[in-house]
């Protein structure tokens, strides 16, 4: 049995946490850690931060919930600020830890970080496990075998089930692959708490620092319901949703732009690991068994399969997830127009519906799925801007940012991802007539056009003068 350290990341929950359960089974003593990396808040490629203020606030609230739950079980959550490649080896060495564990992730940078930890701690056991997906790794071994066979044949082609979502879904359904029904709970005979020596931060200090440095109020406006972060907040929302009639009409209402009850609103809890995908799947099945099973309830599972597909696709692509040509290896006819991109970010384009959606995002950290499709289509097709800038801005602004879903969906919309039709372009006038026929959403989020022109400079750098009114 080991003296262990569990490193929380995007799995901020105690229930149905297979990676945590795996570490607990191997440990006689255990400490719990979360690392706040200052690099998250530094502008990087595409002039964006990895973690924006609203998502960070959601994370801190989730950590407070974890801290309280651990305290009730006789444990403590340790929080440290710094580079994990520096802080974790120091803690391991100082506290004689011989096992470090956590959640395996599909993102290339996140998985690389675990490999670097392993390289720096060659004498320690590093235990990582899939944690946030519907299926364990076993059902995917056949896909790995297919990929290995392709490589042996001299091709890097994806296995057929991964070429499109439809083929992926059929593979799952035709082979009757289902999530394991038994969810993992906190064990009755948990390891003894391990008291760590080190320089730690309190959540109160981190929250005060966030609030003092925030560029705007962190709390969402009263025009939108608040996500109550944390595992217990996620569980309460899960129960409330499935104790209502909303699952029976989900497919019909899910495209609404600003209705709290129209869609599930599970995405922030999934992205930050407050809920597992298996917990939501199990709740759908209970609802279908006890209340009603119809196309709408199936569609919730359908969306969970989409999420699963993007995660496994991200794992396959590696760093290619972030490349301009995407998995399609096709360069879009777009570039970087600084002025256009800034106007899109601010909600100051010639398209009122796009403006309203972007202002909603900036004010709340959230946007409907339909809204995300429309603003992405606008950036790529109407504004001709490199899709990666939009994906990076979403990463910074969204409280529910999920690396695989966000970047995979942007690839899809830009025509360089898994869409067999080669991208999507939405008629914004038609979309406005369908989803905001009376202009209520546009007025609420002040999407009215203030500037008709996208550009104040032409292609060679000359200022564009406004057309004079006829005399």
Query: For the chain, what percent of residues have pLDDT higher than 70?
Result: 87
Which of 41-45, 180-184, 426-430 is most confident?
426-430
pLDDT band at 457 (very low <50, low <70, confident <90, very high): low
**pLDDT of 465:** 60
Return the exposure string of 203-222: e unless at least 16 CB atoms fall within 10 Å of the residue's CB, then b: beebbeebeeeeeeebebee
Report residue 461: phi and psi, to 5°. Answer: 95, 5
**pLDDT of 213:** 72
pLDDT of 468 strictly over 50 = no
pLDDT band at 158 (very low <50, low <70, confident <90, very high): low
**pLDDT of 47:** 83
**pLDDT of 159:** 64
pLDDT band at 463 (very low <50, low <70, confident <90, very high): low
6-41 residue pLDDT tens: 999 999 999 999 999 999 999 999 999 999 999 999
Mean pLDDT, range 223-233, rounded to an integer: 82
Show contacts of 203-209: CB within 8 Å, 24+ apart: 203/60, 203/63, 203/64, 203/67, 203/79, 206/36, 206/60, 206/79, 206/81, 207/57, 207/60
104-134 residue pLDDT tens: 888 888 889 999 999 999 998 999 988 888 8
**Number of Cβ atoms within 10 Å of the Cβ of 88:** 25
Torsion of CA 263, 351, 403, 69, to 10 degrees: -50
57-81 residue pLDDT tens: 999 999 999 999 999 999 999 999 9
176-212 residue pLDDT tens: 778 877 788 888 888 999 999 989 999 999 988 888 8
Distance CA 434, CA 251 (A): 16
pLDDT of 471 strictly over 50 = no
Return the exposure string of 155-184: e unless at least 16 CB atoms fall within 10 Å of the residue's CB, then b: eeebbebbebbebbbebbeeeeeebeeeeb
298-314 residue pLDDT tens: 999 999 999 999 998 88
Domains of the chain: 2-131 (3.40.50.620), 138-174 (no CATH), 338-444 (1.10.579.10)
pTM: 0.90
Tell me which of 71-80, 219-228, 261-270, 337-346 is least confident.
219-228
pLDDT of 273 strictly over 80 = yes
Distance CA 352, CA 452 (A): 11
**Number of Cβ atoms within 10 Å of the Cβ of 244:** 13
Mean of per-residue pLDDT scores for the chain: 87
Distance CA 413, CA 436 (A): 22
pLDDT of 460 strictly over 60 = no
Tell me which of 153-167, 301-315, 339-353, 453-467 is least confident.
453-467
Distance CA 442, CA 433 (A): 12
Mean pLDDT, range 46-59, rounded to an integer: 92
pLDDT of 221 strictly over 80 = no
Mean pLDDT, range 224-250, rounded to an integer: 92
pLDDT of 363 strictly over 60 = yes
Residue 75 in tokens: 């444990």
């Amino acid at each position: 049995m080991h003296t262990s350290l569990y490193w929380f990341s995007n799995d901020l929950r105690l229930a149905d946490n297979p990676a945590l359960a795996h570490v607990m089974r191997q440990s006689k003593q255990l400490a719990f850690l979360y690392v706040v990396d200052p690099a998250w808040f530094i502008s990087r490629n595409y002039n964006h931060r990895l973690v924006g203020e609203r998502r960070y606030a959601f994370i801190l609230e989730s950590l407070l919930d974890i801290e309280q739950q651990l305290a009730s079980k006789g444990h403590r959550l340790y929080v440290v600020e710094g580079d994990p490649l520096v802080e974790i080896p120091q803690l391991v060495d100082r506290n004689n830890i011989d096992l470090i564990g956590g959640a395996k992730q599909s993102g290339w940078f996140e998985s690389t970080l675990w490999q670097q930890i392993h390289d720096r701690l060659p004498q320690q056991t590093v235990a990582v496990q899939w944690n946030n997906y519907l299926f364990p790794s076993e059902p995917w071994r056949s896909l790995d075998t297919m990929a290995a066979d392709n490589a042996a044949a001299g091709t890097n082609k994806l296995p057929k089930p991964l070429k499109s979502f439809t083929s992926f879904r059929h593979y799952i359904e035709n082979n009757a692959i289902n999530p394991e029904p038994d969810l993992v709970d906190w064990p009755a005979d948990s390891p003894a708490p391990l008291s760590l020596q080190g320089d730690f931060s309190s959540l109160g200090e981190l929250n005060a620092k966030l609030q003092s440095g925030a560029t705007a109020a962190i709390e969402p406006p009263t025009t939108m319901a608040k996500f109550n972060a944390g595992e217990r907040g996620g569980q309460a929302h899960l129960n409330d949703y499935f104790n209502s009639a909303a699952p029976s009409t989900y497919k019909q209402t899910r495209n609404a732009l600003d209705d709290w009850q129209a869609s599930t609103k599970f995405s922030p809890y999934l992205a930050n690991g407050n809920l597992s995908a298996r917990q939501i799947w199990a709740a759908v099945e209970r609802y279908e068994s006890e209340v009603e099973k119809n196309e709408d309830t199936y569609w919730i599972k359908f969306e969970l399969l989409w999420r699963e597909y993007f995660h496994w696709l991200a794992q396959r692509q590696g760093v290619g997830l972030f490349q301009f040509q995407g998995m399609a290896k096709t360069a879009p006819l777009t570039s970087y127009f600084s002025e256009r991109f800034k106007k899109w970010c601010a909600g100051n384009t010639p398209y009122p519906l796009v403006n309203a959606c972007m202002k909603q995002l900036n004010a709340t950290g959230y946007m409907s799925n339909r809204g995300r499709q429309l603003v992405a289509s606008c950036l790529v097709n109407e504004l001709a801007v490199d899709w990666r800038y939009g994906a990076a801005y979403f990463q910074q602004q969204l409280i529910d940012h999920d690396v695989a879903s966000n970047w995979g969906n942007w690839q899809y919309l830009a025509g360089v991802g898994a869409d067999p039709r080669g991208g999507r372009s939405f008629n914004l006038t038609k979309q406005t007539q369908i989803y905001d026929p009376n202009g209520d959403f546009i007025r609420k989020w002040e999407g009215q056009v203030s500037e008709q022109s996208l550009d104040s400079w032409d292609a060679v750098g000359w200022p564009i003068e406004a057309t004079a009114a006829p005399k």
